[in-house]
Amino acid sequence: GDYRERAERAASSADERDAMTATGGFPSSQADGSPELGEGDRLRGRFELISKLGVGGMGAVWKGKDLLKEEAKDRNPFVAIKLLQKNFKEHPDAFVALQRETAKQQRLAHPNVATVFSFDRDTDTGAVFMSMDLLEGESLDDVIRDLPEGGLSESEAMSIIQQLAAGLAYAHQHGLVHSDLKPGNCFLTRDGTVKLLAFGIARASKTKTDAEGVTTLFDPGELGAITPAYATVEMFEGREPDPRDDIYALGIMAYQLLTGRHPYDKMSAPRARDQGLTPEPVSKLSKRQNRGLARALNLDRDKRTASVDQCIDDLRRRTNLRIYAIAASVIAVALIAALAYGQITDFVRGTENEKIISVLQQGGVGPIAEGLSMIQSLESDAQRRDILKDARTRNAVVGHISQGDRHSIREGLSLIRPFDQQWQQYIREDPRARDAIIGYYEQRIDEAFSPAKG
């Protein structure tokens, strides 16, 4: 679709402006208030700053080089470095809290959640920074900004929405609420994979209810980040983070992808509530789907959709397979029977593929083993090749391997052995899998040569 083509064009340009990071895209003109560091400076003696990619309300984003990876001859030693505001020095409690939140995200291993490697403080400069995946493609903010009139088709929009939902549901299951979900914190990679960014750093804060727009407001003293156009009434009121805050933002992005417009014209939730606004129905959705979208966009937390799984179920178009069967039997007597059969076969295969992928995306060795077994049992070689080529299949397997511990690496490599050598190599050469495997064995080597304790 168009969104995938845009991502591929952005990646192939090799422009550092499109080498986006786990922070979303920031306008380069915005002052960041981060420590005075420049190209060539190093953090903790390990990360070298290469070039600034952008700045935002929470700090500056740099392309960096991991010197340990370079020393280990890693073919891709580059990472994203987020330098947080220099006034973090004045808030030691904020540093500790953010370190704990980042540790939660580091335990997340999901293909639709960007990887955070570390959260640290440079002892020489006092700079607080995070090292993250350096992603190639474009932010969802850019995708939405460049949408054709009327938005994406339902199928294209749902491909993005379902991936966002999968990452969110996984994070919520692990007790982590994003609290600053917005297009700028979502990313579309060159292969069409959607990544959620900036988990573990955004928390609800008390913010003036007359704030508007899409600029993130951040105060390390309150440990809060909020983007008015995507924040709930409850976030403005400073209430505890809740998964339903993320569902509201997900609903807004779904509406934007489907229509090209913000449901409340980028008005803050408190102001939209005070004016009694309700979103217009989306013409390309059914009545049932529109009711589901309206629930996600409800300005009252208690009336909003309770879970991400319920939200995506409400938005997914339901097809009556019986109607398909009746229609097929009626047109079978016509000359177009062959074409009709092909369409129905494609539909059934597509539905089966989505079911398998949904199993894989649950994460963990059990679901991945079950999903791969389902792929092996497919009768059609063409269908098997299609699903193995799907980026979501690869990301599910690689996501398990990239947890980096002995069990996840061995389990992942063992599960792919029944498949052809080309696909096994495709998995093993993924940078995330390769880094996890190399990192694991480097650690084992270091332990072997370390002086014995005790």
- Statement: residue 355 has pLDDT above 70: yes
Predicted confidence at residue 30, as pLDDT, reads 41
Sequence spans of domains, the chain = 16-132, 137-315, 356-446
Closest C-alpha to 214, from 376, 421, 56, 395? 56
| Top-confidence residue, 286 or 33 | 286
Give domain 16-132's CATH architecture. 2-Layer Sandwich (3.30)
Instruction: Give 402's pLDDT tier (boundaries 50, 70, 90).
Output: confident
Q: Which CATH class is domain 137-315?
A: mainly alpha
* pLDDT value, residue 232: 96
Q: How far apart are CA 81 and CA 38, in angstroms?
A: 12
Report whether 132 contacts 80 (CB < 8 A).
yes
* Distance from C-alpha of 227 to C-alpha of 86, rounded to nearest angstrom: 21
How far, in Å, are 36, 48, 334 from residue 31 at the CA level? 12, 22, 67
Assess whether pLDDT exceeds 60 at residue 17: no
Whether the model pTM is above 0.75: no
pLDDT tens-digit map of 63-95:
999 999 999 999 889 999 988 777 665 666 667
Token code pair at residue 305: 């959709």
Per-residue pLDDT of 293-336, as tens digits, reads 999 999 999 999 999 999 999 998 876 545 555 555 655 555 45
Q: Do the beta carbons of residue 204 and residue 198 sit within 8 Å?
A: no
Greater confidence, 402 or 20? 402
Q: Do domains 16-132 and 137-315 have the same CATH topology?
A: no
Residue 381 CB coordination number (10 Å) = 8
